[in-house]
Every structure is written in structure tokens, then in C-alpha cells.
Structure 1
Amino acid sequence: MKENLTMLAQVVYVVIAVMVFSPDVFAQYRTEIDVQEWPAGKVVLTSGDTIYGPLTYHRTQEVVYVHNEEDGTISAFSPVNVEYFVAQEHPSNRPYTFRTLMWDLGRDYSDFKKPTFFEQLNQGPLTLVMRERYVRRDVHYASRLGYYNNPYYYPMGSNYIDQIEELYYVLLPDGEVVTLRNVRRDLHKLFGKKSKQVKKFVKSRKLDYDKPHEMAAIINYFNSL
């Protein structure tokens, strides 16, 4: 069993290496678990300027880098300088939108807020936004969880794997960012009297509360009511 897990980890590592060094094959990829790259994008600054070019986003550091293909320079921006940025895949042109929001870091009853990047998953009265955290697990424990169905980064020769976990929030019309600690429960509190209708929709479509695109579909349905 141990040998099989080691071989599988090595295979996955090779696949990731191909993704990292072959950008023409994969439209967007991660060089590290918290570092994501796209071949095109734009960054809209608080100054009103817009900068175009390939993007590299360091999620933990909260810094987005724009690569100027004409002169080879790289510009770095933190949330305090950015209104939003849009990363784009090629050739599908699928966009990934990230907004700067004022956030209390999830601390209840705190008046302190700081500019923070959130990935925006929909648009409407209730807007679903997302961040990531990274959890290190033992390979054997993760294998029992069915790790092959989840996004992991495998360091070569390691007995551990790093798992990406999505953290969900809802942006209210007044700009408040609500943390969904218990996703299902907290979301339906926001739905209020329309909660029963949404639950029927979720059941009929067999949607999950732990998948970003299905979460967006749930909230979009609520917004349409």
C-alpha cells in the first residue's frame, strides 16, 4: 500500500510539473499551492489606471503581479492599490474575478477592517465571494478520504500533502462581508423567508454546499426570487 501511494504521489508530481512548465497546454496553473498564474488579465487600480498582461497571484501574500510583455518588467500590487483584477484563460477566455473588499478578518464585533482580495463567484444582491486556506495532511489519512477527487499539491518524496479548502463569504448590498462558518446554516439565515424555496431547489437539482459553482447556483436562484 505504501509503495502504491508513493508511486501515485510521484505520478501526480510529474503531472504538476508538466502544468508548470507547459503553459501552452494548460490555460492556468499553480506553481505552488497558493500561487496561481494566468496567460492574460487586467488589474484596475484605485488610481483609475488599468494594467494589462499575464498575471501571477500569490494568495497567501495577497499580491498580484502583472508581467509587461513589451519591456519584461513586473509590477506588484496589494489590495490597497487595487479595485479589482480579472484573470483570463486562453483559448476559452474564461474569466476569474477578484475584488478588494474591506474585511474584519472574520473577527466578530471588530471595528478594524483591512483591504483584502476575494474571488467573486457571482453577481447580485447577495454576492458569493471566496478565499482559500491550506491544510497539510498525512498521505495515508488523505487516501482514506478519497484525495484523488480533491486538489492537492504533492511535494516529491513527502509523506504529506497540502489540500486546498474553500472558505465562503457573502457580500451584502451595504458592503458587509458575512463569514459562512457553517455554510448551509448561515446561508439559509441570510435567505430568511425564502429559505424553504431555496431548499427545494437545492434538493431538486442535487446541489452541494461545498462546490464553488454549485454554491453560486444556489445563491443565484435566491437572487432571482
Structure 2
Amino acid sequence: MTNHLHARAFNAVAPALKKVDQQLPLSARKAVAEAVLAELKPELDRLVDYENRIMWDTTCGSCARVLDSSIRETERAEKAEAETEAHRLALSQALGLGTGAPWDAIRGRAGDVDRLQGKVLELDAEIAKLRDLLRVENKRANDAIGREETAEQAALEAQQDRPVVFREAADALGTAYEEGRIPYGGDYVDMCADELRRLADETQQAGAQG
């Protein structure tokens, strides 16, 4: 009602000034309206009180004000009760209890949910530990596989190099004999060289078959 009266008073200032061919800025018009309302406030308050007593069908102003306060409290209580019921309904449905669960059941289920949440957090922590352990074991296994593959590669390379080594040894043996650096007969040297070449051929064939 106060805002309505302020608006009406403010809007009434401009026509009144126009009748006497006067103008005022908006701020001055607002100040005039507020001054008039402040002057009339006691009469307006009495008018409101009178209308309130008529509404409550009583001649007692204090009684009407008590009834006003009571109905306001009742409206606030009803609003709070409606909000509480909406909250209860939402919780009941969210916890899988339907629509009619009382607060005790909701609190009990909420406690169960909290305990389950604690268990879930514990399981998450255990899973994280297992994941870390698995990561370490995977790295260890991969490192071992890497070492084994490296050893296999080295053995394969050595196997591939053996025919060359045998032939080079046979050639070196013949050269050493020709240069007089071996104190054995030529037949013995030839036999050793032939054996080295045979080993070279066998190793090369074995590598090709493998």
C-alpha cells in the first residue's frame, strides 16, 4: 500500500503544477510527493487501522493487529510446512523409499547411504593401491621381457656371425701357415681349415632352417 500511495502522490504532482503553469524536475516532484505523504501519515495510519478493524469485524484496534500478526504467522508456518513436505518428498523418492516415508525412515536410509559411501571410499582406496601395484608389476614384467628380447637378439646376431667367424679363422690359419708362423705340417693345417669351413657351412644351414 505504501508503494502504491507513493506512486499516486508522485503522479499527482505534475498535473497540479501544470494547472499553475509550473514545472519541476523529477527529483523535486518526488520530494514534494514524499513530503505530502509524510504530512498525511498519521491520518493514513488511522485509515488503515479503521479498515483493518472493519475487515476483522471488531472495534478493537489492538485485537485487529493481533489477528493480523496471527494470520501472518499462520501463513509463514504453512509456507514452511509446505517447503518441509516438498523436501521430505524429494528425499524419500531420491532414497528409493517412495513418496510416503516418514522422517525417521529417511534419516535411517540416509545413515545407510553414508555408511555405504564410506565403504565405497574404502574400496576406491584399495582399488587405487591395486592399480599402483599392477602398474609396478607390469613395468617389471615389461622390463624382463625387454631384457629377454635383447638377449635373444644378441644370440641371434651371434648365430648369424658364426659362419663368418669360422671362415675368417680358416683363412687366417692358412695365412699363418704360409707365413711360417705355425709349427705344424701342411696336412694338419689343411685339415683344421677344412673343419672350420665345415662348421661355417653347418652353422649357416642351421641358421637358414631356423
TM-score by length of 1: 0.19
Flag the structure with more relative contact order, 1 or 2, with Cα contacts below 8 A and sequence separation at least 6.
1
Q: Going by fraction, where is helix more abundant, 1 or 2?
A: 2
TM-score by length of 2: 0.20
Q: Going by fraction, where is strand more abundant, 1 or 2?
A: 1
